[in-house]
Structures are given as structure tokens and as C-alpha cells.
Amino acid sequence: MGCHFTKGLPALLLSSVVVCLIPSSVSAQSPLSKEELLISNDPVGHPGGHLVVSLRSEPKTLNPVTSIDISSREVIAQMTGDLIHINRFSENTEPALAKSWKVSRDGLEYTLKLRRGLRFSDGSPLDADDVLFSFHAYLDEKVNSPQRDLLLIGGKPITIQRMDADTLVFRLAQPYAAAERLFDSVAILPRRLLEQAYNDGKLSQTWGLDTSPQQIAGLGPFRLKEYVVGQYLTLERNPYYWKADREGRRLPYLDQITFIFVPNADAEVIRFQAGDTDMVNRLSAEDYAALEKEQTAHSFHVYDAGPSLEYNFLLLNLNSSLPAQSEIAKKQKWFRDVKFRQAISLAIDRDSMIRLIYRGRGTPLWTPVTPASSFWIDNAIPHPPRSIDQARKLLQQAGFSWSRNGELTDDTGSPVKFSILTSASNSQRVQMATIIQQDLKELGVSAQVVSLEFRSVADRIFRSHDYEAAVLGLAGGDTDPNSQMNVWLSTGNDHLWDIGEAHPATSWEAEIDRLMEKQLTTLKPQARKILFDRVQEIIAENLPIISLVSPNVLVGAKDQLGNFRPAALDPHTLWNSQELFFSVTVAARQR
């Protein structure tokens, strides 16, 4: 059986896997007969071994329907499977539990064919009813699944119809670009184990951390073995996993993965240095530099996997809901002047930020799209170098002047002073705010850095709007612009510079709304790219947020780990856990 790629978005459907039907004898390592396994094209490894990784906090649940926190999702991702998967390395979609899919001409219908003969990790068979049940659970308003919002297209839920035991049709209320990306991370649940809880209205309380391993089943490469409160969680190899290597050996190679819980990034690095863990998923530039010196002596390597999706930016408060007499509203007169915002952007030394904060392992930004989204970034956006002279000219044009002592004053003679709010727990952003403070001094602007605890910052940004400027960062889970709709639409939750707009406050925001809505329903990637490029141009011209810098993805792993290929998308290191393997000697020693 050959590949089953279908029309739709050919550029996004390139994959490193092929689908094969393998008849074979039944064993833990070899595939069952009539199982349509997915054959990986990655280098063949050795079976065995116990991988130990750290999590920066304890997972809170093993329930894919209600999980929100990163740690839970990271563990759940190892235990569950989705219909169509985004390859974290290529950033393209590829077949997973669905061996193929067809898109109707109008882009409203997706017909998915399930792989035959697959089993959950407890040995029970997978069929279309499990998929149907899973989507009903995610979409049920009473369950309050965070994934529900992803499955609402044009405000209406996706409808699913079971055609036969292997075929399902998903209908969308309106065309949705790259709709197959929605299937990624919507874990398919075993109806047999969860239907009763769902009918009793207790689905959100099931599959907590205290659940017995026999009560949890999934379609991921690993299944639950043991959870020790506050210490670690161990997963063991799923003997029914649906991927095999080129030699027909069923994946994963590793026998076990243990996640140990650490309270912070420092502890994560210490445990890695001490040899307690085999890889580290995210390193700061300082830790990277420190570990780089030790790598040869301690048989591990640190890797710079290139740009991440995280973009940091300076936000000036443009919220229109503030009382006119408030102190912030008076300063908004400056912030609302596009020339003022452009001058601020020109005065910021992004290269210094990269050098001082990221030790050269980052990228300066002039658009909120990072180079990690190589397809979507608009490379035509100008990268004006830092220029205090140019910034001064813009401020003069906007009616600002300078007092005798060099202080910038507005047309009423008031000195230009504002505070920059940032999260105290993120030292990099505190440093960014400090560099901005220094840079703005050269313009005669007095900026005060106010670092508060993260949730206090969030409260001021989202609820009270009690801030003047802020240094924040966002990191999308996907490269596709659809994942950022809530940031760019004027009615979006994360339309940070002016939250809660009923209508676009400016003509350029109205244009962004129109372009984003249009790209959402445009099915051709190149046509979408043109629309999104225009969005980036508008943002670069009007600077509702002033893009600053993006850090690289820095990770570490033991030398003996094979097929280790860190990716820009989360999870950077464990995205191909089924293909990771230890060298023969390490695997044998661990046994």
C-alpha cells in the first residue's frame, strides 16, 4: 500500500512516513496481522533503555480533555494519539491514526480513513465510535474542555458523522484554512473506559493522577506504569503502538520514560548536570553557556535548535476603555501617535538584547512572526537599524521637543515619563525592560521598570488595564497564523493593546480584521501567505506592539541518545520519543 496523501494543501502534506500493511506473527515487538502500521523512515535504532527527563512542575491530570498545563500535556502527548499530526520538525501535517483524508471541493468536508486493526494500549480495538465519542466529549459545553474552542469554526462546532467502522466525515460551518492542523493534539479516547463517566457528567474528574494504570488507555507510544506523588511518573512501552521502523520492528525503542518533577529551571539543570536526567527540554542562554563548557567531560551535548516561536514585545497601553481623567489616559495621547511608537522602536537596541540577554542565541524581530515560521514570516518587512537621530526627527514631527536638560516634553510641556511593567519571574524580560529604559534615556524619555509577579502582571494587562507599557512574550503552539487569531482580531481575547474592543478602533485594525478573516477561509497556502504578509506589514507600520527579540531553542541530551532531533515546536525534545533510542551498551546496562 502506498502513500495516501490527498488534495488540499500539498505543500503541507509532505511527510517522512509511509503507510504499510504488514502481515506478521503476533509478538510484543512485531506487528499483529492486518494491522495498518505506519512505517517510519527515520534511522533504525536499538530496543531497550530507560529515558529520564525532567518536568518543571508536576502534571496535574492525565485527562486529555481537561488538561491545560504544559507538564500534563507533555505527559499526555506520550500516552495518546491523534488523527492527523503536525510533525514538530518539518512543521507539516502527516497521517497518524487516520491513514488518509480527503477534502471536499468547497473545503467544508473532511473525510478521514482510520488505520485498520489498531489497538489502545490496553489491547482493546480502536474504531470510528471511539473517534466519534472523543469529539463529542471535547465539544460538549458541559465538559469545559479547553480544546473546544479549537473545534469551533465560525463560532459553530465541527459536526462528525460515522460512515463505517473506519471512515468519518467532519463537516465545518465554513471553509477553514489548514483545517487538518486542528486534529493535532485532539487525543482519541477509549469509549469503553470513559463513556460511563461521560454519561454521569464526571468526565472532567476522571483520569486524575491517582488513577490505576489499568484504567487508562491511549494510542501513544507509552502507557502509564507508575506515579509517585511529588517525585516522578513512569511510562512504559505501549506494546500495541501503531508505528514501526523500516525493519518492521514495532516502535517505540525505549522500554520506559520517567518524568521527574523539579520545581524550577535551576533544579532542571542541576539534575541534568548530576546525570540524573538524560535530556533537558529548554535551557536559558546562561545555562547553555555553562553546560557547553562541561559537555565533553560529562558525555552530554547541548544543542542550539535555532529560532523558537516565542516573540517578545513592548506593549504600549492603547486601551480605549480607560477614564479620560486617568493618568494613563493622558499618556495614551503620546502612545496613540504612530510616530511616537515608531521613534520608540527605532531607539531600541535589539542587537544588544540578543548579545546581553541571549548571548547571541536569539533573533532580533521587526514583526511578531519569528524565523521559526519560515513559511509565514514576511522577509520583505524592513529591519531599520537603531537610529537615535531618526527617532528624534520622528518625535519632532509629532510635536515633541526637548527641555534644556535634554528631557523629552510633549506639546503641553509635560515631560515624557512612563513605567514599563514586566514579570519578575522572567529575568530575560526584566533585562529587556532595563535595556529599553537605557535606550530611551538617549531620547530624553524617562522609563521606570516595574517588575511584578506574573499573575499580577496578567491581572493588570487583562482586567484592570492599569499599566502604561509592558514587556511581554507570546509563544504560539503552531506556526500557522490561525493559532494567533485571538491576538490580531480586534474582538480577540488577546488583542493585548486594546482588549475588549467591540469594533476596530482604527482603520488599520479593521483592515487586519478583514485580512485575518479572509486568510482563515482561503484554502490555498500561497494566497493565505499574501494576506498574512499584508497583516505583518500593517503591524510593522503601525506598531501596536513593538517586536523585540526571539530566543533560540536551546536543549541538551546525553551523547548516547540516538535520533535526537530538537524541534522549534513544543515539545522540543520528546516530539519523536517513539524513535529515540540508547546505544546498545547503555540499553544493555540499564537492563
Partner 1 sequence: MKFLVRRFLHSVFLLMGVSLLSFSLLQLTPGSFFDEMQLNPQISRATVSRLRAEYGMDRPMLQRYVCWLESAARGDWGLSFAYNAPVAPLIWARARNTLLLTGLALPLAWIIALPIGVLSAGERYRWIDRGGNLVASVLLVTPELLLALGLLWLALRTRWFPAGGMASVVPIKHGAAAHIKDLVQHLFAPVTVLVLGSLPVLLRHIRSAMVDALQTPYIKAARSHGIPYLRILFRHALLAASSPLLSLAGLSLASLLSVSLLVEVIMNWPGLGPLLLEAILARDVYVVVGAVMLSGLFLVCATAVSDVLLFIADPRIRTEDLA
Of 20, 43, 38, 32, the C-alpha closest to 244 is 38
CA atoms within 13 A on the CB side of 473: 23
* 200 in contact with partner 1 (CB under 8 A): no
> Nearest 5 degrees, angle CA 246-CA 247-CA 249?
100
> Alpha-carbon distance 332 to 318, whole Å?
6
Q: Which is closer to partner 1, CB of 40 or CB of 550? A: 550
Task: State the DSSP string of 180-248.
Answer: GGGGTT-PPP-HHHHHHHHHTT-GGGSS-TTS-GGG---SSSEEEEEEETTTEEEEEE-TT-SEE-TTS
Give me the helices (H) in 442-483, please.
454-459
**Position 484 contacts partner 1 (CB under 8 A):** yes
By CB under 8 A, name the one of 246, 333, 355, 455 that touches partner 1. 455
Q: Is residue 46 a contact residue for partner 1 (CB under 8 A)?
A: no
486 binds partner 1 (CB under 8 A): yes
Nearer to partner 1, 132 or 474 (CB): 474
Is residue 205 at the binding interface for partner 1, with CB under 8 A as the rule?
A: yes
Cβ distance to partner 1 smaller for residue 85 or 392: 85
Binding-site member from 239, 263, 360, 406 for partner 1 (CB under 8 A): 263
130-149 residues near partner 1, rule: CB under 8 A: 141, 144, 146, 148-149
**Is 453 near partner 1 (CB under 8 A)?**
yes
Rounded to the nearest angstrom, the gap between the alpha carbon of residue 406 and the centroid of all alpha carbons in its chain is 44
Looking at residue 343, the DSSP 8-state letter turns out to be H
How many angstroms separate the CA atoms of 101 and 24, rounded?
Answer: 26
* Cα Rg, the chain, nearest whole Å: 26
Q: In angstroms, what is the minimal distance from the CB of 145 to partner 1?
A: 8
* Contacting residue, 492, 518, 521, 529, with partner 1 by CB under 8 A: 492
The amino acid that residue 44 corresponds to is V
Out of 483, 521, 563, 583, which residue is the one contacting partner 1 (CB under 8 A)? 483
Piece in contact with partner 1 (CB under 8 A), picked from 14-22, 53-61, 97-105, 441-449: 53-61
Closest CA to 561 of 51, 29, 3: 51
Q: Per CB under 8 A, does 299 bind partner 1?
A: no
Tell me: does residue 265 bind partner 1 (CB under 8 A): no
Which one among 84, 262, 315, 372 touches partner 1, defined by CB under 8 A?
Answer: 262
User: Can you tell me the distance from the alpha carbon of 445 to that of 535, in angstroms, rounded to the nearest whole number?
Assistant: 30
Instruction: Tell me the window of 255-263, 326-334, 373-381, 554-562 that interacts with partner 1 (CB under 8 A).
Output: 255-263
Assess 584 for contact with partner 1 (CB under 8 A): no
Q: Where are the beta strands (DSSP E) in 248-385?
A: 256-261, 279-280, 300-307, 310-316, 362-364
Q: Of 15, 40, 61, 80, which lies in the binding site for partner 1, with binding defined by CB under 8 A?
A: 61
Among 2, 25, 199, 210, binds partner 1 (CB under 8 A): 210
In the set 14, 16, 27, 69, which binds partner 1 (CB under 8 A)?
69
CA nearest neighbour of 317 among 293, 297, 336, 301: 336
The upper half-sphere exposure of residue 503, i.e. CA atoms within 13 Å in the direction of its Cβ, equals 2
Angle, in degrees to the nearest 10, between helices 128-139 and 191-199: 30
In the bound state with partner 1, the residue whose beta carbon lies nearer, of 3 and 424, is: 424
Closest-CA residue to 270 (of 257, 281, 256, 280):
280
Report the residue number, 130 or 287, with the smaller CB distance to partner 1. Answer: 287
Choice from 230, 293, 405, 526 touching partner 1 (CB under 8 A) = 230
**Per-residue binding letters, 425-444, with partner 1 (x by CB under 8 A):** x-------------------
Length of the chain: 591
502 binds partner 1, rule: CB under 8 A: no
Residue entry with cell 512572526: 369
Site for partner 1, residues 344 to 363, rule: CB under 8 A: none
How many residues in the shown chain lie near partner 1 by CB under 8 A? 63
At residue 22, the 3 state secondary structure works out as: strand
Q: Of 94-102, 163-171, 260-268, 574-582, which part binds partner 1 (CB under 8 A)?
A: 260-268
**Contact between 527 and partner 1 (CB under 8 A)?**
no
Binding site for partner 1 (CB under 8 A): 50, 52, 57-58, 60-61, 66, 68-69, 141, 144, 146, 148-150, 152, 204-205, 208-210, 228-232, 234, 258, 260-264, 267, 270-271, 273-274, 276, 425, 453-460, 462-464, 474, 476-477, 483-487, 492-494, 590
